[in-house]
Amino acid sequence: MKGIAIAFPWRISTLMFFTGIALVWLSCKKDDPPEDGEQDLTHIPYAPQAYTIVKPAHFPQIQIPADNPMTVEGVQLGRRLFYDPILSADSTQSCSSCHLPQGSFTDNLAVSTGIDGIAGRRSAMSLQNVAYATNRLFWDGRSPTLEDQALLPVEDPIEMHNTWPNVIEKLKKHPDYPARFRKAFGINTTKGITRELAAKAIAQFERTLVSSGKSKFDRYLQGELDALDDEELDGKLLFFDEGQVVGLPDAQCFHCHGGLTLTGNQYFNNGLDSVGTLDEFVDKGLGEVTGNPFDNGKFRAPTLRNIALTAPYMHDGRFQTLEEVIEHYSSHGKPAPNRDPLIPTVGFPIPGTNPVKYSGLTTYQKQALLKFLHTLTDTDFVNNPDIQNPF
Amino acid sequence: MKFSLAGGLLIAILAFIGCKDNTDSGPTSTFTITFKALYDGQPLEKFKAYDYDTYKVQLTRFNTYMSNITLLGGTSGDVKISDIEWVNFTPDLAPDNFAVPVPIAIANVPDGDYTGIRLGYGVPPNLNAQQPKDFPAGHPLSNENEYWLGWKSYIFNKIEGQVDLNSNGQADGALIYHCGSDAVFREYTFNLPVKVEPGAGITVEFDLKTLFVLNGTWLDLNNAYNQITSNDVNDVVIANELMDNFGNATTVK
């Protein structure tokens, strides 16, 4: 028994050592000559440093995919690619054109416009805490991972309208990028620059877009109980359905915007459109991806972190203000066969109604909720120098 | 040349892995528990209009934490095989409206014959005292979507749907059961022969129709306070009643 207990870790460490040696051996192909037109990069040191994401202590751990470990060099490369218009066909738009730091990585437009001046049909989603996104990405969930998501805007005809082969050619000929790809991923020649590595670098940078933990709400959560005033506390109670205060109903917010990132990472029909049948939705959302009519009109619940900075609201930017958003939910939205069952239950049950109806929120309750939403503003995050445009 | 050297090295590594010493305990197997959601004995189907008392319900979401999973009466006594699992029957991107079976494969379970299984419904108090940040990413309890900041508790289960009280084809009420607090954690024991050997497993079925019939009487959805439980002061009663009835709604085979 004792002997086994000693032998096991020895075997693991030995295995890791030999595996590492094998991987390094396979990657160090200095004697492979570059192909025509390709640039030898092996004179550039490849010594990536592990990158540790800085997150608030009260936030959960972040899951990093095994095939895209975070490195300082990878994050630096991704940051540049994120802000560089080199990705678009006419070199006028970058990821940051629609995801600007001051808008908590939105563009504050109802819908975004691509390089050809064509308006898209949906609003740019906030990237704050996107490292915590599970259950797919985009409003309609069409992308399984951050790495996959980063590939799509480049070739979207109403976004960057480029092709990845064209982007890769530009990156290969760039005076700076080949060395950065070498330092981040250990490629030996420019032939190693691929769309997959570009996407991995962008995803690494995007995973660093984590809250500062210094919003009023975060300070309250970390024990600074006077960080919220009485009205903001009432808004918090309404939001989180704590049910402990007589006179405050359930605003039902946290069911879809739960957890510290204030998104449940799920897809809902939140009663935006009145339809008689499931086929009537103009934008089918999740249903476009799944092909299931019951998913029509469902969209991903976005994070409410920094929500005061991300107007306009909803997937199509139909609401200009948070007041309009609150009014939408207080009035229970519009009917649809797959409207989420919680939407009509905001407020108190109205006595004597059968079937039961709910009261919605009073003017004070709406104001309290609004004030609470403003406690989610995190200017330290949007002003973090490490996530600004490096150019 | 280098490729062949590297290939040889990898073969050596694989051979190394293959020489596993297994003398410290008896044989073990991977034991699979397949969880299934039913309504009236049939696979649960989202948005299907089910008969419920004198009206109709449509169910849209069902997930639950299962915990302290313990095989009973083995040759070496009881064996806890899992602390916690999250079972989601209604993922957003399911291929159709049917609740998906959720197989959970538990490795290194001692082979042998057991006399039953004990299941925890929800998150036991020792784990419920912790928060998502306390668990490594990917752990079932790292999922902050299933954690209530307001009550500092995990949401043990979610059962959601809508009610057509007038049977006119229009939803006119909700059915939202989110249970979660130490007071509503339950454990139930199921006595049946369980054999653990390579390829073995059991099926655990939850029938929601049975869950909604409390002591022979349908949970009355005409009462607004019976439509929603988020475990607050008004509706913890319903959460208790549902959790009390979960054992009856469970079949292990």
For every residue of A44-75, which 3-state class applies, written as one string? CCCCCCECCCCCCCCCCCCCCCCCCCCEHHHH
In a mutational test of the A interface, the residue from B11, B177, B228 whose CB has the highest number of chain A CBs within 10 Å is B228
Q: How far is CA A9 from CA A3, A13, A23, A98, B23, in A?
A: 11, 6, 21, 49, 16
* Shortest Cα–Cα distance, A264 to chain B (Å): 5
Three-state DSSP at A110 gives: coil
Find the mean pLDDT for residues B77-101.
95
Three-state DSSP at A266 gives: coil
Find the mean pLDDT for residues A37-43.
94
What are the tokens at B211? 């869950």
Which residue shows structure tokens 């990132």? A261
Give the pLDDT confidence of B170-192 residue by residue, as tens digits.
888 889 998 988 999 999 999 99
Q: Cα–Cα distance between A375 and A233 in angstroms, integer?
A: 10
Q: Cα–Cα distance between B21 and A366 in angstroms, integer?
A: 65
What are the tokens at B231? 């475990």
Percent of chain A with pLDDT over 70: 90
* Shortest Cα–Cα distance, B69 to chain A (Å): 25
As assigned by CATH, the class of the A31-211 domain is: mainly alpha
Give the pLDDT confidence of A148-184 residue by residue, as tens digits.
999 999 999 999 999 999 999 999 999 999 999 999 9
CATH 1.10.760.10 range(s) for chain A read 31-211, 216-375
Which residues in chain B have their CB less than 8 angstroms from residue A290's CB?
93-95
Q: How far is CA A91 from CA A84, A116, A209, B252, in A?
A: 8, 12, 24, 61
Give the pLDDT confidence of A207-236 residue by residue, as tens digits.
999 999 999 999 999 999 999 999 999 999
- Smallest Cβ–Cβ distance between A355 and the set B17, B151, B173 belongs to B173
| Structure confidence at residue A28 (pLDDT) | 41
Three-state DSSP at A162 gives: coil
| Structure confidence at residue B2 (pLDDT) | 44
B169 touches chain A (CB under 8 A): no
B144 touches chain A (CB under 8 A): yes
Q: How far is CA B138 from CA A60, A61, A302, B75, in A?
A: 10, 9, 21, 33
Contact B176 A21 (CB under 8 A): no
Homologous superfamily assigned to A216-375:
Cytochrome c-like domain (1.10.760.10)
* C-alpha dihedral sign at B105, B108, B113, B118: negative
Provide the residue type at A26 as one letter. L
Contact A240 B230 (CB under 8 A): no
Is residue A155 part of the annotated active site? The answer reads no
| Structure confidence at residue A22 (pLDDT) | 39
What are the tokens at A278? 């499931």
Contact A60 B142 (CB under 8 A): yes
Contact A244 B144 (CB under 8 A): no
A49-81 in b/e form (b: 16+ CB < 10 A) is eebebebbeebbbbebeeebebbebbbbbbbbb
Note which residues in 130-189 of chain A have CB less than 8 A from chain B. Answer: 132, 134-136, 141
Three-state DSSP at A235 gives: helix
What are the tokens at B6? 């590297």
Task: Calculate ∠ Cα B152-B186-A348, nearest 5°.
Answer: 50
Give the pLDDT confidence of B98-150 residue by residue, as tens digits.
999 999 999 999 999 999 999 999 999 999 999 999 999 999 999 988 998 88
Contact A356 B138 (CB under 8 A): no
The stretches of A119-176 forming alpha helices (DSSP H) are 146-155, 164-173
Query: How many of the other CB atoms lie within 10 Å of CB of A29?
Result: 13
Q: How far is CA B106 from CA A247, B31, B76, B83, B198, in A?
A: 47, 5, 18, 11, 12
Is A246's pLDDT higher than 80? no
Is B42's pLDDT higher than 90? yes
Query: How many of the other CB atoms lie within 10 Å of CB of A234?
Result: 21
User: Going by C-beta distance under 8 Å and a sequence separation of 6 or more, which residues neighbour residue A353?
Assistant: none
Which residues in chain A have their CB less than 8 angstroms from residue B94's CB?
290, 292
Note which residues in 226-285 of chain A have CB less than 8 A from chain B. Answer: 237, 240-244, 250, 254-255, 258-261, 264-267
* C-alpha dihedral sign at A315, A316, A319, A322: positive
Which residues in chain B have their CB less than 8 angstroms from residue A14's CB?
16
ipTM of the complex model: 0.84
Contact A338 B172 (CB under 8 A): no
Give the pLDDT confidence of B208-248 residue by residue, as tens digits.
999 999 999 999 998 877 888 755 555 678 889 999 999 99
Find the mean pLDDT for residues B9-27.
50
Q: Name the helix (H) or strand (E) containing B39.
A: strand B28-39
What are the tokens at A326? 């609150």
